[in-house]
Chains A and B, each alone.
Chain A
């Protein structure tokens, strides 16, 4: 395997080359979604087209709204019975496929994650409507499982035939005396999984968050938003918070439970990991209940230390600050030592990251700590603010696809709104470097002349690999074996290839070792047989 580029690649030339193959309409659109990174004097990036429709026929990484809603946001919660209303496929494909780990507190505790529930709609239901079957299915799920909550997820045909899933949810909630709520997350809505995240956020906010006002014990109470416990990431962070004396009220939604969501409004700070998938909940909790949010990143040793310090700074408690510093002082040297170990293997090598709505950004930290350079990156389903930072929000055009996704009107709760800090305190914290409600985006942290590609497709990925010969390419399962056939290892950053955890201090060290393994694997030297290396000897006897 070649790990270094054969010659210097001019990214602008490569961009033009990639576009040349496309029919004109495709080329016009893609040219706005492929940028060579340049920051202006204020450190602001250029405008990138994102969160727009994928052109039909293009082999995209993207999935659908249902996947974002049922799979991503609600999937990791163990004690809600999630019923997919539709033909069998959607429920089947989202059954245990995302590697969200969960740890029920007792052997008796509810855990429905190993189960798949579906109405398995047939032709009769499509023709005559599926509401009756859905109602019956909710009843049967209640009879079989006796859960405290049931979620209903609409698939494509449900929207077309007009089943009123929300009415069914309302009726069954009343009949069964448990919480039943529905998600209109038909796959055709929006342009990617992203719309599904938004729909999930909205319904959780409407139907679950704030239901339980029982006070939560603890001095420093936070929620962790946008952390899905792939490969045990959330476990790693839970332990870290415990050691620091920080009380985690809820996680959205790794290793989570319904009850945690219900009382999440009692936390005093929301810490947002994956900005794209969950910022709506952070915004709505702040408006209704008063807890502010900050962007955190627990991917990377330094990033983890920085995020912990921000949390401690927010609470401003001396004891907490000291405890956080003690944990950092204990853990960070171990992470640095792990990085030192892999540096001889990894330093100077190139990485590419095309995944998700935050990981393509966050994981650059880890590569940086290993001395690797991210030469190209992009998101599968992010929006402009995830690329360019939230300061562009006022100028983001709301197109027809986004307008179809409900924006909830949220007001301060007259009884329960509680400002956690005075305006003066907030100002002081901001002056001291705590940024509230801000995500600076990926592009301002990337070097100039790197390539930023939104919604990358198969053809462009192949072109990138051919030109740059990166040491590692990060994407998902659909891309994995294509890239590896080319002799380049692919690290899955959706499901971690059955690896992890990669979050927190311990996770960082795991990731270094995993990347060192991938880029040093001997397998890449076996691709040519001896007779292919020396074909001229093919006709000679070589007994002697």
Chain B
């Protein structure tokens, strides 16, 4: 029996129907980003269901509390606009939940209506519904544009637009925009910056927010996340590193153009080479030399690649996920002498395919790439040309089971395993972990399925 029994190798062209998407909508990315501000309550300006779905999806992925407000639109608000709802929401939120910041994002509904968020927020202030010293920032995140990744990018831009200030005096700090990555990744990026002796402002920062401890106490606003003061100071930084074109470039470029904080956009530091570029760029930007501890971490990674090379060599891989992640993962797989051959992302963006083609140019095999593709297509490609490994979110397990392919869960959402919350995949440490995951997946399958006389004790 097969789970995806109606998926056939024969590919019929589809223009209008997405089957098994490799993306979701903007607002959830905005909600996730806003959770990385200390004392912030994300607010979904739309129907209740949006907020309920986003909170549920994020909660399932992190197994942590995810709090957010909603404007609870009704049919009336859809006709007359959502101003009254947002005004009331802001009044109630500040009275009942007492956040320092409310981060409003829009939805397809409020965008189709055309609600003007800055105007409504100004009115709320005028009417005394936003207490003094409290903040409301916003991002426009219509669900019919981009994806969860662009929603994240828009809210990060909303942070600097809402808070960044320029005093005229540089503060010697470097803005680090980590991209749409896990809390553990954000912590690892901070760790690398610290090891380099770089004073950084990392935003958003969900580490400590979405991987918190169990202590018997609950605080709606954990002592974690980037602070409002840090976000204000981002306008005086000596530079910005935006990690991941899709998730981080908007905010980095905004700071560059509005505050003359020079920016560089790098790939997400996943894998050896991308981490090398991150470390190298950061050290040059901050004028620091790379400490032995980082060289040591890097050396360990190279050692592992050498020790286990025979198992990586020329293994075929299929990937689905977000563009920033996939670009770096593909580069890393190629670094390991693996062959990424089927690649889809649901998120639009013209540069993606060119980057993948560039990275995979030396693979002596046809490479399938589809931007705004879906996992149904990915599965059809796999049926045509089988692979040794699949890397994607938890929805990949249906393909993996049907085709008997080992699966590494990476990206969003991961609903059925725990590691992503606590262990990074960025940096040299993260790359080591990826190597472990790839080897475990490949070798577990070999151990379970190879002929008995070929079972190896030592590998």
Contacts and interface: CB of A to CB of B under 8 A. Distances in A.
A484 B85 contact: no
A518 to B, nearest CB: 15
Contact of B24 (A89, A107, A190, A476): A89
Given A92-B21, A485-B217, A54 B97 contact: no
B89 A56 contact: yes
Contacts of B57: 93, 97
A83 B24 CA distance: 16
Contact of A87 (B49, B67, B108): B108
A66 B49 contact: yes
Given A88-B147, A482-B218, A23 B92 contact: yes
B131 to A, nearest CB: 13
A136 B17 contact: yes
B73 interface: yes
B174 to A, nearest CB: 33
A269 to B, nearest CB: 34
B17 A119 contact: yes
Given A54-B72, A114-B3, A117-B17, A90 B53 contact: yes
B64 interface: yes
Contacts of B3: 111, 114
A237 B90 CA distance: 47
A284 B16 CA distance: 36
Contact of A156 (B19, B47, B89, B214): B47
Interface in A467-481: 476-478, 480-481
A449 interface: no
B88 A64 contact: no
Contact of B50 (A54, A140, A187): A187
Interface string B1-33: 111111000001011111111011101100000
A135 B107 CA distance: 25
B52 interface: yes
Contacts of B126: none
Contacts of B52: 60-64, 67, 478
A22 B220 CA distance: 17
A112 interface: yes
Interface magnitude class on chain A: 35 or more
Contacts of B165: none
B55 interface: yes
A516 to B, nearest CB: 21
Given A92-B21, A136-B17, A156-B109, A188 B1 contact: no
B56 A477 contact: yes
Query: What are the 8 tightest A-B residue pairs by CB atom distance, in nearest-first order?
Result: A64-B49, A89-B25, A57-B92, A57-B89, A136-B16, A187-B47, A87-B143, A93-B53
14 contacts: A54-B70, A57-B93, A58-B96, A62-B48, A88-B24, A112-B6, A116-B21, A141-B17, A157-B109, A161-B112, A190-B74, A401-B75, A477-B59, A485-B216
Given A54-B70, A64-B48, 17 more contacts: A21-B95, A23-B91, A23-B92, A26-B92, A83-B17, A88-B23, A92-B23, A97-B60, A118-B18, A122-B145, A126-B144, A134-B16, A155-B108, A157-B144, A480-B59, A527-B214, A527-B216
Interface of B: 1-6, 12, 14-21, 23-25, 27-28, 43, 46-50, 52-57, 59-60, 63-78, 85-86, 88-93, 95-97, 107-109, 112-113, 142-145, 147, 212, 214-218, 220, 346, 376, 395, 398
